[in-house]
Structure 1
Amino acid sequence: MKTTDGKTGGTTGGRTGEEKQPRIAVVGGGIGGLALAGMLHRQGIAATVYERDAHPGARTQGGTLDLHPESGRRALDELGLTEAFRAEARPEGEELRILDPAGRTLVHRVPGPEGGSRPEIDRAKLRKLLMSRVPDHAIRWGHHLTGVEELPTGGHRLEFADGSHADCDLLVGADGARSRIRPLLTDARPVHLSAYLQLGITDADRRRPGIAEFVGPGSLMALGDNLSLGAQRSGDGTIRVSVTVRADEGWVERQGFGDTEWGEVVARLHGLFAGWDAGLTALIDACDPGSLVGRNIEALPVGTRWPSRPHVTLLGDAAHLMPPVGEGANQALLDGVLLARAIAGHRNDIAAAVAAYEAEMFDRAAVVGADSAELERMWLAPAAAERLASFFSAAASAD
């Protein structure tokens, strides 16, 4: 049977002649999905990315990421993006300070003249680099997945909100924490950890020079009393201010920040940090009115696994959602290139490729996930600053 993918106009079945390779569909055009598609195309294997956003600039892409040599930077090396990454990275962004609620600096890490091992890059710039490895025609923008049907042949049919559909032999869920593909493989669901608020200070050097100097070129974290107040510099001159609270799942919604006058929002945030150093809470006062966005922090149970199936798999947050302590993006990038390597190594046996990829990914994610969970527990503890200071000191000694 020959089918078409509706409004996209391309054929997705009836492979003849040169069309011998499997039809690979990647749901989600984030950094993990793009790394997979880019690596596959680099090895001469076609794949199509289906992304719900209408275009690359449809929404902001978040703050900056530090890429680790054993995972994120390894992935970029394999994608041939090392030099392009160096041109866009901000080595100075590695500067980090950890403070206690009294404003005392317990850790101050400053990269050397050549930078450290984990340079920062804005997520939007990283995504643009990864897109450069995927042919334009292979990214289908504006494709919001609404349903998945298993085909008699073993593959899947994807249904999209615009009425179009596409068939594939291998379906890869790269669609994040709330993955629509994950339920095809496992009943595992993310577990609530904490509440998170993000605010912003645009054009900080000009508009808030004192705050900009206080934050510096990298980031700072003030921790204690089951709270975290952080600030991170982005390459566009914005400072992202974050508040993390050890609170139940409905806390953000109950606060009703979106329906509250800004002055009251600021006052209530100050109430959370009563008794904290005024230099730290000045970060809240400096934020742009109306910039607050709240969400819940969740993670999949550490060690989540599923019986391998030959026509579907997951990567990144869809596979192993972790607390946001620095590993999620790195592991997603590594997942992408390693899955592509497995497919290239088993070109005539997709089932073997999926099984090989998942065996390594499960073991790796279990170790990294356990470490991330422990770091998250330290992050939001009564004496978090002291505990993290000891952790970083031990890590520095090990290096």
Structure 2
Amino acid sequence: MHTTPAPRIAIIGAGPGGLTCARILQRHGITAAIYDRDAGPAARDQGGTLDLHADNGQIALREAGLLDEFFELARPEGQEMRQLNPAGTMLFHHVPEQDERFKPEIDRGLLRDLLLNSLQPGTVRWGHALHAVGGPADGPRHLHFTDGTTIEADLVIGADGAWSKVRRAVSQATPLYTGVSFLEAWFHDVETRHPDIAELVGQGGAAAADGERGLFAQRNGGDHIRVYIIQRAPADWIIADGLTPEATEDIRALLLERYKDWSPRLRRLIADNDGAYVDRPIFALPVPHVWEHNPTVTLLGDAAHLMPPLGVGVNLAMLDASELALAIAHHDTIDEAIHAYEKTMLPRSTETAQLLDGAAEELLSTELPDFATAGDL
């Protein structure tokens, strides 16, 4: 970047996309600040495991100079995939080769720590929940935070996920409910406390569906397993059934009734979990989601192209982040960099979103849906 003085770059969101963008910018001598609503890096659970693909997520990590460290942390054995029917019969079983590295698994928390620890101290400003982006389109932009503070920026990068506040500066689009809802269940110390479930799931993932309902169990690091109970249901189905999200035993009883025809072994993925369930209705942005070029604001990841969780979300977010950072490093102005970035990102995300439009339904199909791609849950 040859602009003088150096542009003030604000990245909203300290997820994998925002962190990757800042890391690659810093490798090119460009300063960026990340603002995140969380009070700190340990403020909340980071979610389950994900697979980083050789043709997108791993490309970004290579540009970040972190690919070797990623492979030291990743679990190649997590690429194992089992497909069962509701009776518990194995229909499909993929066992990865010993040197298979196309999409090894890594826990989200480990990936986030890898990226966080690679940044210059003070890069992330915790406890900054964005309220709105103001200021003229040609800058400087004013970032208004919920604590009443305001900062100026020459470029605002929205890496703030599904319900992005930055998106509102360039687009009126909002996520729409897909009609498919996930309920997350956790299992801890599985080899000791849940050995039958550990054997059922293996080292990667195991899935089953009957057309209306599905289960996807996923091995995480640290001897944990997460199960996603998948249903075609209203987004507020728990409340609609007269329950509250905290009513764990009542929700469990309702689910066991809905899955009553499934094998007892698979029903244990519903009945034996440790702790409460986590409600995760699945939303997606309208397709295509594009916006008029703005010289001071752009988006990446879910803020730009929220899709069903079918193994692409984090990978595309990190590829977006890499390409945006490199565009900023290799162009004379921010405006030129955004043009170059969006010229590639928008067609790619549109093509992928069109392929996945309505694909959340595939998670319920009895026709062997490709759960092997569903590593991004």
TM-score by length of 2: 0.93
| Aligned counterparts of 1:392 and 1:215: Cα–Cα separation in 2 | 13
* CA apart distance, 1:106: 1.5
Amino acid corresponding to residue 235 of structure 2 in structure 1? E
| Aligned counterparts of 1:149 and 1:226: Cα–Cα separation in 2 | 45
* CA apart distance, 1:213: 1.4
Partner of 1:94: 79
SS of the residue corresponding to residue 294 of structure 1 reads: strand
| Aligned counterparts of 2:151 and 2:193: Cα–Cα separation in 1 | 49
Partner of 2:17: 32
* CA apart distance, 1:276: 1.2
* CA apart distance, 1:367: 1.7
Does 1:315 pair with 2:296?
no
* CA apart distance, 1:392: 7.3
Partner of 1:368: 352
Which residues of 2 match residues 75-94 of structure 1 at below 5 A? 75-94=60-79
Which residues of 2 match residues 221-240 of structure 1 at below 5 A? 221-240=207-226
Deviates more, 1:295-304 or 1:54-63: 295-304
Deviations 1:8-53 (A, max 9, x none): xxxxxxxxxx961110000101000001111111111110000111
| Aligned counterparts of 2:175 and 2:158: Cα–Cα separation in 1 | 16
| Aligned counterparts of 1:148 and 1:95: Cα–Cα separation in 2 | 44
Partner of 1:208: 194
Partner of 1:245: 231
Contact 2:139–2:153, Cα closer than 8 Å, also in 1: no
* CA apart distance, 1:259: 4.4
Does 1:386 pair with 2:373?
no
**Identical columns (%):** 43
Amino acid corresponding to residue 131 of structure 2 in structure 1? T
| Aligned counterparts of 1:221 and 1:91: Cα–Cα separation in 2 | 19
| Aligned counterparts of 1:93 and 1:257: Cα–Cα separation in 2 | 34
Which of 226, 241, 245 matches 1:258? 245
Q: Classify 1:25/1:387 alpha carbon distance in 2 versus 1 (closer, same or farther; 3 Å).
A: same
Deviations 1:316-353 (A, max 9, x none): 0000001001100000000000000111111x321111
| Aligned counterparts of 1:377 and 1:351: Cα–Cα separation in 2 | 39
TM-score by length of 1: 0.88
Amino acid corresponding to residue 388 of structure 1 in structure 2? P
Partner of 2:267: 281
SS of the residue corresponding to residue 119 of structure 2 reads: coil
| Aligned counterparts of 1:28 and 1:104: Cα–Cα separation in 2 | 43
Partner of 2:108: 123
Aligned length: 369
SS of the residue corresponding to residue 258 of structure 1 reads: coil
Q: Classify 1:152/1:197 alpha carbon distance in 2 versus 1 (closer, same or farther; 3 Å).
A: closer
Contact 2:52–2:315, Cα closer than 8 Å, also in 1: yes
Does 1:352 pair with 2:336?
yes
Which of 166, 183, 187 matches 2:168? 183
Contact 2:137–2:295, Cα closer than 8 Å, also in 1: no
Which of 235, 250, 271 matches 2:257? 271
Deviations 1:46-83 (A, max 9, x none): 10000111111110100000111111011111111111
Amino acid corresponding to residue 361 of structure 1 in structure 2? M
Contact 1:100–1:386, Cα closer than 8 Å, also in 2: no
* CA apart distance, 1:370: 2.2
Q: Classify 1:356/1:103 alpha carbon distance in 2 versus 1 (closer, same or farther; 3 Å).
A: same
Deviations 1:271-321 (A, max 9, x none): 121211211111112201x32010210001222100111000000000000
Amino acid corresponding to residue 64 of structure 1 in structure 2? T
Which residues of 2 match residues 31-180 of structure 1 at below 5 A? 31-151=16-136, 154-180=139-165
Amino acid corresponding to residue 367 of structure 1 in structure 2? E
Does 1:301 pair with 2:282?
no
SS of the residue corresponding to residue 97 of structure 2 reads: coil
| Aligned counterparts of 2:98 and 2:137: Cα–Cα separation in 1 | 59
Q: Classify 1:206/1:392 alpha carbon distance in 2 versus 1 (closer, same or farther; 3 Å).
A: closer
Contact 2:245–2:279, Cα closer than 8 Å, also in 1: no
Does 1:20 pair with 2:5?
yes
Larger Rg: 1
* CA apart distance, 1:161: 2.6
| Aligned counterparts of 2:318 and 2:137: Cα–Cα separation in 1 | 32
| Aligned counterparts of 1:187 and 1:76: Cα–Cα separation in 2 | 32
Where does the alignment leave 5 or more consecutive residues of structure 2 unmatched? none
